[in-house]
Structure 1
Amino acid sequence: MVKVVSRWIGNTLLLLLAMLFLTSILLGYQSHKHPGQIPSFFGYKIMTVLSGSMRPVLQPGDIVIDREPDLTKFKVDQVITYKREDKFITHRVIDLVKKNGVVYYKTKGDANNVEDNKLVAPQQVVGDYAFHIPNAGFFLEFARGKLGILLFIILPAILIVLSEVFKDKRPKKKGRKDRPYPQEDIV
């Protein structure tokens, strides 16, 4: 029973590591191919919160997951992410301002005393807040560093290779379970 549970846990961890590895390769490729844009995964964009401007909803170190923006559905009190001067900012829409037939967004961080000094144009909006993962940004930033790559990619890869190399060296049990079919079925 213990072997079955430990094998199941090991296979689950292996699957999670493989998914994390493939996701990191995909996001890394997207970052390299399109610098200055947020990499997306199945239409969702992943960003780390760096400031406390959206406290208490979002804390520094949280991960924000945004979906593709639908500019026709934005309304007051919605949280959006927009790009301004090579920075991505996640703030709440506090007003919609129509100028020359175009709707602009007045935004403000929840913890800020004043609204943002410039209106946000529709083409600046890069994401519509979907949800966040508390404190996961610290882990993500660690995983992107040299030590994180060593611990989460290289070391598990070495362990997987070693486990496969030594798997065939273990003595196999003889018995009915190792046969491809029951003995009675052979004619």
Structure 2
Amino acid sequence: MNAITVNATLAESFWSGLAASRLRQVLAVLVGTLALAISARIQVPFWPVPMTMQTFVVLMIGAAFGARLAVATLFTYLFEGAIGLPVFATGTGLAYMTGPTAGYLIGFLAAATLVGWFADRGLGRSVATTLLAFVAGEVVIFSLGTGWLAAQFGVEKALSGGLLPFLPGEGVKLALACALLPVLWRLSRR
């Protein structure tokens, strides 16, 4: 059995007693894509727009899996959507993926990678480093998402429809992550 390294990811710290295997990684990817699909479909009543937990799950995948496994998970999720599996909030297929949500979908991959990179370096174990990593991930998601919308519909419409209504909900998700991740790290050490 390998000892947990200082920079082990959260997932590695929970499964440290298991033999390293590709099967374990494949299972993690499938659980991650399932969590993403479920999070896209659940809407929590919120103001000014209903809140899904999709961005939260994207960033948690990065924080828990590290960059390499997060990339594999997000690529698999996007592939599932491209071939028509109902993993997105609305729509499927390549036509949907190149529409108005394309920037956000690319942002999911980039943000999970960035947060995973932070996790690989030991960030996300305290409130401060979780906040840093997740805010950076949120900036990536919404920069790419609203940037794509701005190219199609103009900056004003992109900001008023693709960014500003979502900020209150994202704040709630950031608070949840800052409360949850340090607790999960403490549990993983038991």
Indicate the TM-score class for this superposition, using the shorter chain for normalisation: under 0.3
Whichever structure has more strand as a proportion of its residues is 1
What TM-score, normalized by structure 2, do the two folds share? 0.25
What TM-score, normalized by structure 1, do the two folds share? 0.26
Bigger radius of gyration, 1 or 2?
Answer: 1
Whichever structure has more helix as a proportion of its residues is 2
